[in-house]
């Protein structure tokens, strides 16, 4: 079981009690940024991340028994009808409990969450997100998230119909990550509520349009303010009020997004350094640090990942001890 389930998910594990007459089955599917596991066993286990464990958002969907997570000496458990969310390296341990346990798990690369955060807030994720760990499937938002998670899990398991539709996989991935950022409480939820019904004034929108149109040029904040027909001070006040960022920070985020697009473009053969310079980042080390904080991986990791994004693996195993 460890070779099948733990090997694919890169966690270490040990039984909570001595096991006798142990039976288990597992179905594992891997595709790009998502891994799905269907696990059934009649023993109780503790799992924890190792140095080799990727930065994942783990979504546990218990079917029978209990799925749990301990973080900072607080244990949160989910029962059927609920879902448990946890970041792989922030949790002290995950656990499965119950005389007979069955659960399905969706592992989503953390850089997908970072990317969705950047698109929603138009700023890099620079502090722990602190997603609320428990999602109740009976609430309106929870029901929607649960249905989407189960659609992805069901589409990757069994006949694996989703694995034959890369476009659908990308769209479902984006829909889920944006829904999590917008619907599950986290550190920045209050900011989302404050800005949800505050349309930016005309001068801020003009400045943003100018940034988009001239993103590859060496523009200054004074040039941006002039394009919006306001002073630099008024421009900075507008961005802080309506975008919770400085104009320079907003432009930097746009350029990071453009650099990421180039890094993930299979047809783009430019080096990381050339892409870094192309989008106005003169210091490679600083660019790498900003990029990692925004997307959860280094520029070189993005380049390596784009060539393996189409690969998929699957395995169904059963056994007894």
Q: What is the pLDDT of residues 11-50, one digit of tens each?
A: 888 888 877 778 888 888 988 889 999 989 888 888 888 8
Encode burial over 90-127: b for 16+ CB neighbours within 10 A, e otherwise. bbebbbbbbeebbbbbbbbbbbbbbbbbbeebbbbbee
What pTM did the predictor assign? 0.69
Q: Which residue has the higher pLDDT, 142 or 12?
A: 142
Q: What is the predicted pLDDT for the residue at 156?
A: 95
Residue 196 has pLDDT above 80, yes or no: no
Give per-residue pLDDT as tens, 238-290: 998 888 789 999 999 889 989 988 888 878 889 999 999 999 998 989 999 98
Share of the chain above pLDDT 90, in %: 45
Q: What is the predicted pLDDT for the residue at 10?
A: 76
Residue 320 has pLDDT above 60, yes or no: no
Q: Which residue has the higher pLDDT, 308 or 283?
A: 283
Q: Which of 100-104, 216-220, 262-266 has the lowest mean pLDDT?
A: 262-266
Residue 107 has pLDDT above 50, yes or no: yes
The number of CA neighbours under 13 Å toward the Cβ of 143 is 3
The arithmetic mean of pLDDT across residues 167-181, rounded, is: 93
Q: Which range scores top for mean pLDDT: 85-89, 113-117, 230-234?
A: 230-234
Neighbours of 266 (CB within 10 A): 10
Q: What is the predicted pLDDT for the residue at 319?
A: 52
Q: What is the predicted pLDDT for the residue at 127?
A: 74
Q: What is the predicted pLDDT for the residue at 52?
A: 75
Q: What is the predicted pLDDT for the residue at 312?
A: 47
Residue 311 has pLDDT above 50, yes or no: no
The band of 126, judged by pLDDT with boundaries at 50, 70 and 90, is: low
Q: What is the predicted pLDDT for the residue at 232?
A: 95
- 260 vs 32: CA distance, rounded Å: 17
The band of 309, judged by pLDDT with boundaries at 50, 70 and 90, is: very low
Q: Which of 8-12, 73-77, 128-132 has the lowest mean pLDDT?
A: 8-12
Q: What is the predicted pLDDT for the residue at 310?
A: 43
Share of the chain above pLDDT 70, in %: 89
The band of 192, judged by pLDDT with boundaries at 50, 70 and 90, is: confident
């Amino acid at each position: 079981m460890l070779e099948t389930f733990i090997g694919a998910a890169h966690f270490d594990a040990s039984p909570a009690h001595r096991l006798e007459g142990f039976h288990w089955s597992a179905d594992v599917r891997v595709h790009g940024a998502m891994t799905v596991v269907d696990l059934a066993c009649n023993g109780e286990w503790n799992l924890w991340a190792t140095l080799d464990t990727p930065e994942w958002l783990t979504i546990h969907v218990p079917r029978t028994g209990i799925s749990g997570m301990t973080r900072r000496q607080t244990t949160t458990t989910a029962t059927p009808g609920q879902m448990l969310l946890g970041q792989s390296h922030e949790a002290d341990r995950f656990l499965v409990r119950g005389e007979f346990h069955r659960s399905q798990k969706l592992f989503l690369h953390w850089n997908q969450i970072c990317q969705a955060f950047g698109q929603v807030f138009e700023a890099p994720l620079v502090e722990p997100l602190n997603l609320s760990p428990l999602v109740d499937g009976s609430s309106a938002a929870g029901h929607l998230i649960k249905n989407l998670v189960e659609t992805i899990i069901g589409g990757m398991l069994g006949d694996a119909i989703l694995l034959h539709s890369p476009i659908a996989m990308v769209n479902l991935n984006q829909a889920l990550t944006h829904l999590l950022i917008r619907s599950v409480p986290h550190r920045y939820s209050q900011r989302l509520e404050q800005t949800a019904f505050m349309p930016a004034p005309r001068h801020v929108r003009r400045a943003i349009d100018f940034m988009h149109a001239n993103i590859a040029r060496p523009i200054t904040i004074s040039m941006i303010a002039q394009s919006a027909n306001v002073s630099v001070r008024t421009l900075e006040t507008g961005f802080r009020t309506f975008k919770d960022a400085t104009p320079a920070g907003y432009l930097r985020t746009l350029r990071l997004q453009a650099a990421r697009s180039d890094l993930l473009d299979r047809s783009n053969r430019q080096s990381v350094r050339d892409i870094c310079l192309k989008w106005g980042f003169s210091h490679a080390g600083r660019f790498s640090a900003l990029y990692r904080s925004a997307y959860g991986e280094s520029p070189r990791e993005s380049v390596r990942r784009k060539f393996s994004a189409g690969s998929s693996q699957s395995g169904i195993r059963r056994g007894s001890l």
